[in-house]
Amino acid sequence: MAFPVELLTTQAQCNDVLSDLQTELKDFTVRQTNYDYRDEKATDRAADLNQEALTLDRDIADLNRELAAMAADSKRRPRAEADLRAYVKRRGDLGARTSQNPVTAFRLAVDARQVAVQVPELQQAMAEVTAHRVTLAA
């Protein structure tokens, strides 16, 4: 669907609209860049958290095996139990971090999609106004 460029009857009006559209395009381009950057960082962060969770799972399993084989009066036992508690707590914290609020994630996805759609629309509007501008008397 074409934009109603026939509403613009002078080159000055076209210039005003083009200026506004250019400003808006810059804003949306920056927002799109920020969303892309945030997605990259989130992917990297998720990979790091996943790797840390796998390491903690392995360490927790190792400590459980070690404690099962360790004598109750071993001097190492209190330290191993403290380490196990710390690993289990950290693993729980990671689980809470990786299960972010799905509503927030959905809203961010909608925002990113709106920006992705808006940029080509602004570019199309600018092209149509520019083409219309040359048909008007100076």
**pLDDT, one tens digit for every residue, the chain (138 residues):** 899 999 999 999 999 999 999 999 999 889 888 888 887 887 788 788 888 889 999 999 999 999 999 999 999 999 999 999 999 999 888 877 665 667 777 887 888 888 889 999 999 999 999 999 999 987
Q: Which residues contact 71 (CB under 8 A, 6 or more apart)?
A: 77
- Under 8 Å between Cβ of 18 and 136: no
What CA–CA distance (Å, rounded) separates 22 from 28?
10
Q: Which residue has the tokens 């804003």?
A: 27
Q: Which pTM value belongs to this model?
A: 0.58
Handedness of CA 24, 27, 31, 37 (dihedral sign): positive
Q: Which residues contact 74 (CB under 8 A, 6 or more apart)?
A: none
